[in-house]
Structure 1
Amino acid sequence: MLDIHMFSSATKVKGQGVGSAYTELIGLLKHHFQGEFKVSINQYGKADISHYHTIDLPFFLSTFSKRRGRKIGYVHFLPETLEGSLTLPQPFKALFYRYVIAFYRRMDQLVVVNPSFIPKLVAYHIPAEKITYIPNFVSKKEFYPKSTQQIQQLRQQYHIAPDQFVILGAGQIQERKGVDDFVALARRNPDIQFIWAGGFSFGKMTDGYQRYQKMVAKPLPNLKFTGIIERKELVNYYNLSDLFLLPSYNELFPMSVLESFACGTPVLLRDLTLYRSILAGYYLAAKDMKAMDQQIKQLRQQPAALAHMQKQAHLAADYYSEAHLAKIWHHFYTQQAKEG
């Protein structure tokens, strides 16, 4: 039996995608490979494979032990992707960014959730052969389409009219997520209900915290901020929405997009290069806020186009399913064990 030690503090901070990705992987391994893989959480005993999901200092120090086996690092962010997310004063920012790369360099193998990050890691003098692309996924047991009757009941529960067009956004409230554009679109479309599911996962460290806190405290009449909510409630919001909109400026592979696909909700994203290689055909793209506004208006006028994107969401959900990714992770871990 392969002894895999997971190292993570991702679930300590609610409302962030790293925690969701970690939770999904642990569930996958325990469900599919209980007889083949022995999975331990934050245990420092002897291991065949040590998989680091977060870059905590105690985890970094543990990499110098010979008991760690093959060291795997999950790349959820790079220094440049943290810009617009957290406010860190100098010289702490520079030191932290150097630490991030030093952590990645300590690994025997890195896993990226988007292939666009491979050349960026290579630019940090990490060999390409030490980097593997494995996409995120979500469990259909937690995120799934609900029936028409259930959706009607949900709308009644959340005080939303049956014929009200609803647009959902999700993630931490920060500049990088494009929250400003989301608010601007709500202002341009007063007849549409906009909902942002998420909050300030890192509190006052969030870039622009004071400004966004004022937005949340006094939202537009057609804009609701739910705050950080549990996944069991989040699935309700995906299902009662007509369109999922994520106007982020910088992402890896957003769990919220996969969750939306799993619920059969059409997706509109900012036209980012990093999406094209992994999501092409499954979503609608818009280069800026004005283009997003045009797409929204067209979708409202063309129900057939919205229905088509709903079908594409279901196709994406099948491709990025737990069953498909289980085979990929099984092959990855067994190969890494051989190289260790």
Structure 2
Amino acid sequence: MLNINMFSTADKVKGQGVGSAYLELIRMLKKHFPNDFNIEINKHSKSDITHYHTINPSYYFSTFFAKRGRKIGYVHFLPETLEGSLHLPKPIKWIFYKYVIAFYKRMDHIVVVNPTFIPKLEKYGIPKSRITYIPNFVSKKEFYPLNNNEKNSIRHKLEYKDSDFIVASTGQVQTRKGVLDFARLAEANPDVKFIWAGGFSFGKITDGYKELKALVDNPPKNLFFPGIVDRDLIFKYYNIADLFLLPSYNELFPMSVLEAFSCGTPVMLRHLDLYKEIIEGYYVPFDNFNDMNYELKKLKNDSKYLSEMSQKSINASKYYSENHLASIWYDFYISQLKEG
């Protein structure tokens, strides 16, 4: 049996996709490979593989200890992808960014959730041979389509009408997420209901905090900010939504998109390079606010188009399913054991 020690604090702060991805992986490994992998969490014990999910300083120093086995790092972000998320003084930012890369370089091998990270990591001096791309995934037992009666029942409980056209988004309230564009779209479409589920996971150091906090405290009448909510309520929002819209300017591989796919909710995204490489054709793309506004109105007034995009979401969810990714993770861990 392969001993794998997971080091992570990703689930300490609610509302982060990194935490969702971490919990999904742990649950999947324990479910599919109970006789192949012995999974330990944050244990300073001997292991064949130590998989670091977050870059805590204590984890960095632990890499110098013996008996850690093969050291695997999970790369959910790069220094440049943090722009628009955190507001830090320049000296602290410079030190932190240097630390991020130093942490990744301490690993024997790293896993990226975003294939566009690979050439960027090479520029930081990490050989391509030490990098593997494995996408995120979601569980069909947690995120799945409800029937119309179930959806309408939830709508009524959440004080929405059957006839309401609902646009939902989830994620931290940050500048890079395009929250301000989301609010502007709500103002331009008073006949549509908007929901943004998420909050300020990083508090006042969130980039653009003052402006965003003012928006959350006083949003347009048709825009609701429920704050950071449990996954069960997130699941309900995906299902009552006619459209999932994420207007981010800079993304990694958002779990929210995969969760929306899994619920069969049509998806609209800013046409980022990341999406073009991994999910192009499965979502409605837009490049600017006018495109976003046009596509929203088109979807709202064309039920056939909306239905087609719902089916595309279902098709996309099959590739990023738990069963498919389980075999990929199994092969990866076994190959790393041989490397060690």
TM-score in terms of structure 2 length: 0.99
Alignment partner of 1:322 is 2:322: yes
Residue aligning to 1:304: 304
Q: CA deviation at 1:301?
A: 1.7
1:11 partner SS: coil
**1:138-161 deviation line (CA, Å, top 9, x unaligned):** 011111111111101011001111
Residue aligning to 1:32: 32
**Aligned residue pair count:** 340
**Partners in 1 of 2:268 and 2:9 — Cα distance?**
31
Residue aligning to 2:233: 233
**1:275-331 deviation line (CA, Å, top 9, x unaligned):** 111101111100011100000011112111110000000001111000000000000
**Partners in 1 of 2:127 and 2:142 — Cα distance?**
37
Query: Structure 2 matches for 1:173-252, cutoff 5 A?
Result: 173-252=173-252
1:91 partner SS: helix
Q: CA deviation at 1:66?
A: 2.2
Amino acid in the other structure paired with 2:216:
V
Q: CA deviation at 1:169?
A: 1.0
Q: Which runs of 5+ in 2 are unaligned?
A: none
TM-score in terms of structure 1 length: 0.99
**1:112-146 deviation line (CA, Å, top 9, x unaligned):** 01111100000101000100000000011111111
Alignment partner of 1:132 is 2:128: no
Greater CA deviation, 297-306 or 73-82? Answer: 297-306
2:146 partner SS: coil
Alignment partner of 1:85 is 2:81: no
Alignment partner of 1:260 is 2:257: no
**1:19-62 deviation line (CA, Å, top 9, x unaligned):** 00000000000100011000000011111000000000010001
Poorly superposed stretches of 4+, deviation over 6 Å: none
Amino acid in the other structure paired with 2:109:
Q
**Partners in 1 of 2:90 and 2:309 — Cα distance?**
45
Amino acid in the other structure paired with 2:163:
D
**Partners in 2 of 1:289 and 1:135 — Cα distance?**
29
Residue aligning to 1:41: 41
Amino acid in the other structure paired with 1:138:
V
Residue aligning to 2:53: 53
Q: CA deviation at 1:226?
A: 1.0
RMSD of equivalent CA atoms: 0.6
Residue aligning to 2:331: 331
**Partners in 1 of 2:15 and 2:203 — Cα distance?**
12
Residue aligning to 1:280: 280
Amino acid in the other structure paired with 1:40:
E
Amino acid in the other structure paired with 1:313:
S
**Partners in 1 of 2:252 and 2:67 — Cα distance?**
31
Amino acid in the other structure paired with 2:18:
V
**Partners in 2 of 1:327 and 1:80 — Cα distance?**
32
2:191 partner SS: coil
**Partners in 2 of 1:268 and 1:90 — Cα distance?**
35
Residue aligning to 2:142: 142
Alignment partner of 1:163 is 2:163: yes
Q: Percent identity?
A: 58
Greater CA deviation, 203-212 or 318-327? Answer: 203-212
Residue aligning to 1:5: 5
Q: CA deviation at 1:96?
A: 0.3
**Partners in 1 of 2:289 and 2:26 — Cα distance?**
37
Q: CA deviation at 1:90?
A: 2.3
Alignment partner of 1:290 is 2:280: no
**1:249-270 deviation line (CA, Å, top 9, x unaligned):** 1111110000000100000000
Amino acid in the other structure paired with 1:126:
I
